[in-house]
Amino acid sequence: MSCSADMSGSAQSRMKSWMEGTSLVSSSQQILTDIKNIKVSIKGDDLSSLHSLCVVLGNDVQDANGNLPSPNTAVTNELTLGYSQIYNLTISCYKATTKSQIESEVTSMNNSYAQIQDAVSVGNAIVGSN
């Protein structure tokens, strides 16, 4: 959507069009939900199931990353950093041989998710949303 979004008009209208067209808020929430699903499943699921959840998260991150660039460099940079860090962690998560390794990756994913939250906040500030 990033290439086909309306990129004319004010910075506010460009960002609003991009955020709506890419479903930034809902895709960001989906990434957080995926991370939470892995965390909750560590106690009960086997490694194979956890590896599958890591793949789901990796796919969702790749989908979101495909919407870049945004019309704002700061938003693009924050999202790029957050997405790349989480994606790299999903690879480690998938390769993990113990639940404790996956738990460590989830902690790092939560920390990296802050970059995505920051980008959404900047985008919302540009468009005048809360």
What pTM, to 2 d.p., does this model score? 0.90
* Alpha-carbon span 90 to 116, nearest angstrom: 16
Task: Map residue 23 onto helix, strand or coil.
Answer: coil
Distance from chain centroid for Cα 56: 12
Domain boundaries along the sequence of the chain:
25-123
The pLDDT, as a whole number, for residue 43 is 87
* Alpha-carbon span 35 to 62, nearest angstrom: 14
Identify the CATH class of 25-123.
mainly alpha
Say if residue 1's pLDDT is above 90. no
**How is residue 88 written in tokens?**
């790299």
* Alpha-carbon span 25 to 27, nearest angstrom: 6
**Average pLDDT of the residues in 93-113:** 94
